[in-house]
Structure 1
Amino acid sequence: MTCDTILRRRKERGQRAYHKGASAEKSVALDYDRRGVDLLETRWRGQGGEIDLIFLDRGVYVFCEVKASDTVDSAMALLRPAQMQRIHVAASEYLGQTPDGQLSEVRFDLAVVDGQGAVTVMENAFGHF
């Protein structure tokens, strides 16, 4: 296998993963919308990292990590402690832009999309470190 073939396959894999993630995020955003929750940001990036979706739910800022996999359990297993820590750092940075800052009410949700496209939202899936 040539170096060009390896690079092309890696690029194709990355594009598939990007589109799969974007599709999962869209499904999750629609699920929250059906429940009357306002979407504030998609793929918000700060110095501390990226947050997939940020919502405002009756005065509570919701930082949502989205995972897609064949099953709910395998999607849940994709969220690692180091990633949770990066999300907390980024959320703290985001809260610095809000009227109440660090005193804002917050929630950290995990939303998973299984192989059939079903969305499962776990509210307060992970808390502060």
Structure 2
Amino acid sequence: MLCFINGGSVHRAGQYWEQQAEAFLLKQGLSLVARNFLTQLGEIDLIMRDESRLIFVEVRYRRRSRFTSAAGSVTQQKQKRLEKCAKLFRKQHQKWSDLPCRFDVIAYDEDSQVPNAIWLCAVFESTDW
């Protein structure tokens, strides 16, 4: 079990799980486009691509999923922020703007003995393209 406490721990834990998710997705045959795309509106953890589309990935980790699972913690408000960030990414990076895209979640719940990646594809779709 990983335990992250005190100063900077949330950031370090986030980086760790994002690295795990990236390695997992690379093994699944996706290619990395960008990581930690930061805007004033928020951040996209990973931007990947497969043969035909751009994939915006939110990585979620929950130490305890008593109230909600890692996957369940991606609220509608978070989805809206991700959509806006994705739209900005596509605007700033024209070479990707014509590719269809989807939004995936990689979730890790530490309640289990060994937290495995749960890959939820096309968790939500943007209505604002």
- The TM-score normalised by the length of structure 1 is 0.81
Q: Percent identity?
A: 22
Task: Indicate how the Cα distance of structure 1 residues 55 and 65 shifts in structure 2: closer, same or farther if over 3 A, else same.
Answer: same
1:98 deviates by 2.8
Q: Aligned equivalents of 1:21 and 1:100: distance in 2? A: 26
Q: 1:95-106 counterparts in 2 under 5 A?
A: 95-96=90-91, 97-99=93-95, 101=97, 103-106=98-101
1:47 deviates by 3.5
Note the alpha carbon deviations across 1:57-90, whole angstroms, 9 max, x for none.
113110000100145x611221111111010000
Residue matched to 1:46? 39
1:17 deviates by 1.2
Q: 1:72-91 counterparts in 2 under 5 A?
A: 74-91=69-86
Which residues of structure 2 form unaligned runs of 5+? none
Q: Aligned equivalents of 1:52 and 1:33: distance in 2? A: 14
Residue matched to 2:89? 94
| Letter paired with 1:37 | L
The answer to whether the Cα contact below 8 Å between 1:48 and 1:93 also exists between their aligned partners in 2 is no
Residue matched to 2:125? 127
**Structure showing greater Rg:** 1
Give 3-state SS (helix, strand or coil) of 2:35's partner: strand
Instruction: Provide the aligned C-alpha RMSD in A.
Output: 1.8
Q: 1:1-129 counterparts in 2 under 5 A?
A: 12=6, 15-69=8-62, 70-71=64-65, 74-96=69-91, 97-99=93-95, 101=97, 103-115=98-110, 116-129=114-127
Note the alpha carbon deviations across 1:8-41, whole angstroms, 9 max, x for none.
xxx92x5221111111111110111101111111
1:91 deviates by 0.2
Which residues of structure 1 form unaligned runs of 5+? 1-10
Give 3-state SS (helix, strand or coil) of 1:58's partner: coil
Q: Aligned equivalents of 1:78 and 1:27: distance in 2? A: 19
| Letter paired with 1:81 | Q
| More helix per residue | 1
The answer to whether the Cα contact below 8 Å between 1:42 and 1:54 also exists between their aligned partners in 2 is yes
